[in-house]
Each structure stands twice: as C-alpha cells, then as structure tokens.
Amino acid sequence: MKILVTGAAGFIGFHLCKKLLQEGHTVIGLDNLNDYYCTSLKLARLAELGIITKADSGYHLPVKSQQYPNFTFHKMDLQDRENLPALFKTYQFDLVCNLAAQAGVRYSIENPQAYIDSNLVGFANILECCRLYNIKDFVYASSSSVYGQNKKIPFSEEDRVDEPVSLYAATKRSSELMAYTYSHLYGIRCTGLRFFTVYGPWGRPDMAMFLFVNAIKNEEPIRVFNEGKLERDFTFVEDIIHGVSAVINDAAADKNSLCRIFNIGNSQPVKLLDFIEEIEKQLGVTAKKNLMPMQQGDVNRTWADSRPLMERYGYQPRVDIKEGIKQYLQWFEIFYDN
C-alpha cells in the first residue's frame, strides 16, 4: 500500500515507518519537526530511516530516503490547508495513519493552544483531506487519557469517556468523535487506537522513562508524583507497532465495520515505585526521590483491556517491563552516553 504516516519523526511514528517499510509498503512521512522536545532527536530518528534533513530545511518539499527507496519525507504542518490537499492529490494514498499530535498531559495545562491547533484543527484538516481524496482507510492515535479517572478496571472500550481531566484528553476524545462523524457521513473506515503509556528505545524525553533514567544517571533527584501512588499500563513500543501494523495491514478486510476504537496496552499495570525500582536495579544506583503531590490533569491508574484487539487482530503484548527497561537502557547508552 501507499501509506501516509503523520508524526513520522515522532517516537511512535518513527518506529511505525520503519516497520511498514520493512513490510514493503511505500511510505510518505509527514512531520512539522516542532520543538516541543529537542528536534535533534526527531532528526536522528529520521536519519535512522535514511532521511538526512535539518530542522530549518525546505518546507513541504519531498526528501528521499537514502536507505529505503520507498520512503519520502515532507516537513509539513497539519494546519497547512494549502499544501496538505496538494500532498494528498500527488500521492493518492491507500491508507492514512495519523499519529501527529501535540502529546503530553502536563504541557496541556500550560499550553492549551498547541492542543487546539494540532489535535483539533490539524486533525480536522486530515479528515477533510481524506474526504476530498477518497481515502478508504484512516487509522489514528487516540489515548488512554480519554478514560479520565475511570474507576472500573480494566478500562474497556465500552466504558464512559465523557469526563476528560486534561485538555489533551479532551482533544483526543474529540478526535474520536470527529472520526465517527466522517465515517458515518462519508464512509471512511476509521480505526482509533487508544495507546497506553508507550515506552522504549527512541522514546520521548518528556516522558517518565527518560526523565527517571537521565536524572538517576546524573545523580539528580527524580520527581515522583502523587508520592508514587500511581499505576501505569506501560506498553513496549515494539508491541504497539505490531498492533498498529496488524490493524493497517488488515484494515480493508473489515468491510462491515466503519468506525472502530481499540485499546492497545500491555494489560499489566505497574506501580510507579516498582517501575523506578526496576530502573534502579538495572542501573545499580538508588534514585534520590522527591515525593510530590498529584499533578493537575494526571490520572491515578491506567489499565487496558485489550481483548477486542487481541481477538480481532491477534494482538499479543510480549515485552514485560524488565525486558523493556533493559532494551531502553541499552539504547540510551548508545544514543546519549556515547
């Protein structure tokens, strides 16, 4: 297939592009390379895919991969209502996978506008292009944050999702609703994937995994929110990518269902203090912990019921946190320490 992946320089987008290219698809990657976190990491991910470019490189122009002949990258913004339709017209995609978004719960407390711009306006622009250029299949990233402070565990797609406790969560839920409308009105097959705390090599530096490892290695204190009384369904990126790829490769087979939403998690929540302890054990260092109150917008626990995705697509998370942390630390050492 010819597939558009937005957010291609991002953590999950990079891994997905690599997988789809290895599977033989033609991939067009799009990303605005914004500086929410260091662009050098985004450029390094692109370089790993054979795209040699700079943060201030030519806007919207195609950059060909030097490693994968069927990979082309465009630096472009989802808000760009002029060049985005032109991109769709040029390539005539078989499937669009939208991962580009303003991510991060905590940042949304201080910078709500970034979420409106990318996750609402940008998301609507992508859907509009799908409508105008007859895209049959649209797969997009949603988030476990839509469940808010859901008390029922594990979280099921049937649970209520109308009390988001951060603007990030509200924009992700809004994306799901917009996708529903486009599937209903225009027959675009839309599949939303609610990711649960993704971690692993090439991970985001604003997330706990990096913040903990970096601080511990530098003998600095780590901030432990809600005094560590948090649980997260940490999901290794490779497992996530297997799930997303299964959905993409089989999207067209599900003729009867136009609008679907699936949880994609590890389904084994881990206490934050146990997560930290495993990092400490593997690094051989005890962390200095600053116990902090609960952060605004945060939720106490996430726990995915991923059975529908397992039953429908054979999704099976395989990597536990011990192995996942090991692989992350190996990458961290090569990328940051050397």
Ligand X SMILES: NC(=O)c1ccc[n+]([C@@H]2O[C@H](COP(=O)([O-])OP(=O)(O)OC[C@H]3O[C@@H](n4cnc5c(N)ncnc54)[C@H](O)[C@@H]3O)[C@@H](O)[C@H]2O)c1
Contacts with ligand X by CB under 6 A lie at 7, 9-13, 31-34, 42, 77-79, 99-103, 118, 122, 141, 143, 195, 197-198, 204
Token pair 């971690």 is at which residue? 199
CB of 256 to ligand X, least distance (A): 27
CB of 40 to ligand X, least distance (A): 12
- Output 114 or 188, the one with its CB closest to ligand X: 114
Active-site residue, from 107, 168, 313, 315 = 168
CB of 200 to ligand X, least distance (A): 9
Q: What are phi and psi of 238, to 5 degrees?
A: -65, -40
Q: How far apart are CA 221 and CA 288, in angstroms?
A: 5
- Output 101 or 222, the one with its CB closest to ligand X: 101
Phi-psi region of 296 (alpha: psi -120 to 50; beta: other; left: phi over 0): beta
- Output 81 or 326, the one with its CB closest to ligand X: 81
Residue 59 among the catalytic residues:
no
Q: Which residue is closest to ligand X by CB?
A: 10
CB of 118 to ligand X, least distance (A): 4
- Output 121 or 132, the one with its CB closest to ligand X: 121
- Output 32 or 191, the one with its CB closest to ligand X: 32
CB of 219 to ligand X, least distance (A): 27
Question: Taking Cα atoms as reference points, which of 170, 177, 176 lies closest to residue 108?
Answer: 170
Question: Is the CA virtual torsion 167, 170, 172, 175 positive or negative?
Answer: negative
Residues near 248 by beta carbon (within 8 Å), at least 6 away in sequence:
1, 3, 20, 95, 97, 137, 139
Element (H, E) at 222: strand 222-224
Q: How far apart are CA 278 and CA 161, in angstroms?
A: 32
Residues identified as active-site: 168
